[in-house]
Amino acid sequence: WVLFWYFHSRVPEDRIQQMLTDIGIIISAGEISNIITKNHEGFHQEKTDIIRAGIQSSSYQHIDDTGARVQGTNQHFTVLCNDYFSAFFINPKKDRLTVIGILSQEEELSYLINPYALGFLEGKKLKASVLSSLKPLLQMEAMPWERFEKELNLLIPELKHHHKTMILEAAAIASYQENHASPIIQRLVCDDARQFYYITPLRALCWIHEERHYVKLTPLLAHHQRLLDDFRARIWEYYYELTEYKKNPKEEEKIRLAHLFEEIFSTKTGYEDLDNRIELTKKKKDFLLVVLDYPDTPLHNNPAELALRMYVIKR
């Protein structure tokens, strides 16, 4: 009861004590604090089971993060959710390795160099000499951090920090995607933060988050303001058409909407800041239009943002 009111209903400890006292239950503030903070070991396994079941319950997941203060230090609060569950995590970093750890739900990340990892690194323009040095690792299975670092140090003794980060990310992604013991997330619905890149086969961007970039434009001329207002109206008209497509997806409509995206986001208005923003949106076409191939994909990331808001209110 105490846990429900404190975590679910956001009732502070002193109010909980007052309510219990009012119904004749005598309990100290210290005992309420102990109930909230101690003997929660059983809940950790329950959380793991909920996350696993939640991931398996849907073909996509939402993810988002925000800053958090923990015992006087800056950390990061992340939510992973869909229509059936929400799970929350606090970590000191919000980099790609942290996100992989959240999605994999492994106690410790493992690292694997396979053809996918090498192809990923080649696409990231890793030096050919470093790529060549990694090839002996193709013969090895996924490894824990200590062993993988040892192998890296033996193969490339003077590996630069940013190259090492690239290799760790590639190897962790490869291991995550090859790990058949855990449910793999196929589609991640998120904003355009870089830590969410590359991890899952498909990444669906939030349209509402993308449109906010247009809201942030600050035209000085009335003519430019009208151009911006008109273009934002076109975005929302297109968004509405996507919502209708989700209800009744058809191949001819899919083709029409793909062409319409190209038409809208090839617009040149003469307002330079707006035109630059339009061009940036156009480059995200594949991520904004995942819904055309997978109509059940949400067009926005509101569930994750609302879940984060619960944390912010609590904080």
What whole-number distance in Å separates Cα of residue 166 and Cα of residue 314? 36
Long-range contact set of residues 47-53: C-beta below 8 Å, sequence gap at least 24: 47/87, 48/105, 50/85, 50/87, 51/80, 51/85, 51/87, 51/105, 52/105, 52/182, 52/183, 53/85
What whole-number distance in Å separates Cα of residue 259 and Cα of residue 228? 22
Tokens 């209110």 sit at which residue? 313
pLDDT at 80: 96
pLDDT at 273: 97
Q: Closest by alpha carbon to 121, among 133, 110, 109?
A: 133
Block means of pLDDT (10 residues each) for the chain, 315 residues, are: 84 91 91 88 86 93 91 92 93 94 90 94 92 92 94 91 94 90 89 94 97 97 98 98 98 98 97 98 98 98 91 73
pLDDT at 107: 81
pLDDT at 37: 86
pLDDT at 39: 84
pLDDT in tens, 271-286: 999 999 999 999 999 9
DSSP code of residue 196 = G
Residue type, 166: M
pLDDT at 312: 76
